[in-house]
Amino acid sequence: MNTINDIADAVHANAIEKGFHDFNEPIKHFVEFQINNLHDEVSELHEALRAGKFLQPCDKAELMQKFGLEPLNCAEEEYADIIIRSLDQCRRLGIDIQRAIEIKHAFNKTRPYRHGGKLS
């Protein structure tokens, strides 16, 4: 079974191979750019919902089939992009995301119902 860190290693290696990392840029610029990319992916997910395409085949579905891959719907594709981008960033920044998720989940389990009155 792959761990989250294994997947992070794989997506980061692919991002490097595909030219998405300029290791000469300051980390501040990298983080700012990547936060914007995450925002874009979340916006694409929201736009799919607003357009009534959330569970419809994504715009790359035919190409995925051509490569022998199971086509994704818009929700699957955008959630995957959000996670892939997040994992790639964690690897670049040296964050052990599996450890962080495990600790944060354990902390969340200690919180009260709706965290003291939050609506969502």
Q: Into how many domains does the chain fold?
A: 1
Is the Cβ–Cβ distance between 45 and 78 less than 8 Å?
yes
Sign of CA dihedral 76, 45, 33, 19: positive
pLDDT of residue 35: 96
Out of 22-26, 73-77, 112-116, least confident range: 112-116
Domain containing residue 66: CATH number: 1.10.287.1080
**Which structural domain range is residue 79 located in?**
4-111
Question: Is residue 96 situated within a structural domain?
Answer: yes
pTM above 0.85, yes or no: yes
Average pLDDT over residues 23-30: 94
pLDDT tens-digit series, residues 51-105: 999 999 999 999 999 999 999 999 999 999 999 999 999 999 999 999 999 999 9
Question: Is residue 83 situated within a structural domain?
Answer: yes
Can you say whether residue 3 is alpha, beta or left, with left for phi > 0 and alpha for psi between -120 and 50 degrees?
A: beta
